[in-house]
Structure 1
């Protein structure tokens, strides 16, 4: 894993696949945990009337099972790439997943991008997709329109699918891509599911999609290493009172270097 090569690929084509990043036993645990996580979310969506167009999608998985926390911890191996990409620190913005079944359809199959603005000078958001199965063209490997991170107008479907590349790789591999890149989940024409976890990271001053620090628990801060404390957002919290504000530097919620 050459940091400069990955950063060059992210800057040029907008994406890169890093093979065999996550160990096999952790992948097995994640695959086993997904069905109950999906069922839990489907029950909530059905109860709240928001089930349409969400087939196979999962959001905010962090505290469903210890294996999801374990994966986030394991991704510390790519910290040097993230630091170079952002030019400094970053936090977890979202932690989701996709179970792409045979001929299934949801919003992730539509051509889209995950942030509408940004610049080459200051990067605000990066996607990390963890392949829980082998990714192939047949089972719906992600479509990515290379070099489209600076294309503001959404491409039409015909030109997108004609020109897009496919992110293929063995289970345990990681796809990293600039969140401005136009992309879409591919159609699965096999009869086996193609599963993935989808995480996004942003500059620390962005609001995460869920309060992951609070969900993880302030009482558990002491169990976090430096990587986990940073990505969970414990270093970029907002004080709730003057007593929380007036503390020694090392105890502050909003640490230095979170710009």
Structure 2
């Protein structure tokens, strides 16, 4: 599916299959900067994982990388699938999580277990969507993700043997973007090569759902006005929760939870 494909065709694809791929959707220069920044984020996250006793099964995983800025914020500024996301949610949306995975030979993590990223099956109600940004070519040899097509319509976890026997593999070039209904069951494949298989893993939700990390607070409340309108919306600056009566009693234009957030 190309970026020129109609939004209605994208919605049909996701409704029927649960996922859609936009091959080579990002510029090569941005992909290179994202790779570099992912390496930096991996070092930052790994230090905290080890310090807090969470080293097991988390090697190669990164969480909430957007708070480190750099190319991660640039990705949100240059995101080429905003119209598709708005159509999926039928309105505004916000960032729920911004992670990354560096899949290396013989170093599996929890993402290799079949899972879905929404804890409550939402059926036809679109609460969350996953986005994968491929920073390397995904091949069968280096651990292309398993996607169980159509499983977004089933409330129950599929048996693991059936999952791996029937799931499709996400084989796509570097720079591709994948969007899938968060009800879809998926798992990382095993990397049998000597090179890394890197990917960014983002989720977006309707604005009234709580973010996994308070991104406006982490980035700085005062910094919100420095972002373009669409980035400020995605980061959650328009869906903040007041903590005092002074913050609550404000005219609409100064409220923390802005109009149009669902």
Interval containing the TM-score (normalised by the shorter chain): over 0.9
1:10 to 11, 14, 19: 14
For the pair 1:42 / 2:46, whether they are aligned, the reply is yes
Following superposition, the deviation at residue 116 of structure 1 comes to: 3.2
Q: State the distance in 1 between where 2:245 and 2:90 align.
A: 31
1:95-174 equivalences in 2 (<5 Å): 95-174=98-177
Whole-Å Cα distance in 2 between the matches of residues 200 and 209 of structure 1? 10
CA separation in 1, counterparts of 2:188 and 2:124?
28
Q: 1:141 touches 1:167 (CA, 8 Å); kept in 2?
A: yes
Map of 1:250 onto structure 2? 253
1:147-226 counterparts in 2 under 5 A?
Answer: 147-226=150-229
The residue that corresponds to 1:237 in the other structure is 240
Aligned residues: 258
SS of the aligned residue for 1:40 comes to helix
**Contact 1:118–1:124 under 8 Å retained in 2:** no
Distance 1:121 1:12 in 2: 11
**TM-score, normalised via structure 1 length:** 0.95
Assess if the C-alpha contact under 8 Å between 1:102 and 1:188 holds in 2.
Answer: yes
Q: Which runs of 5 or more structure 1 residues have no equivalent in the other structure?
A: none
Q: Which shifted more, 165-174 or 194-203?
A: 165-174
Measured after TM superposition, the shift of residue 208 of structure 1 is 0.4
Q: Where in structure 2 are the equivalents of 1:9-88 lying within 5 Å?
A: 9-75=13-79, 77-88=80-91
What is the rounded CA distance, in whole Å, between the counterparts of 2:9 and 2:161 in structure 1? 31
With normalisation by structure 2, the TM-score equals 0.94
Q: Distance in 2 between matches of 1:22 and 1:247?
A: 41
Question: Residue 95 of structure 2 aligns with which residue?
Answer: 92
Q: Which ranges in structure 2 are unaligned for 5 or more consecutive residues?
A: none
Measure the CA separation in 2 of the matches of 1:40 and 1:83: 32
- The alpha-carbon deviation at position 93 of structure 1 amounts to 0.3
How many angstroms apart in 2 are the aligned matches of 1:79 and 1:102?
34
Q: CA deviation at 1:120?
A: 4.3
Larger mean CA deviation between 95-104 and 118-127 belongs to 118-127
Q: Is the 8 A contact 2:123 2:155 kept in 1?
A: no
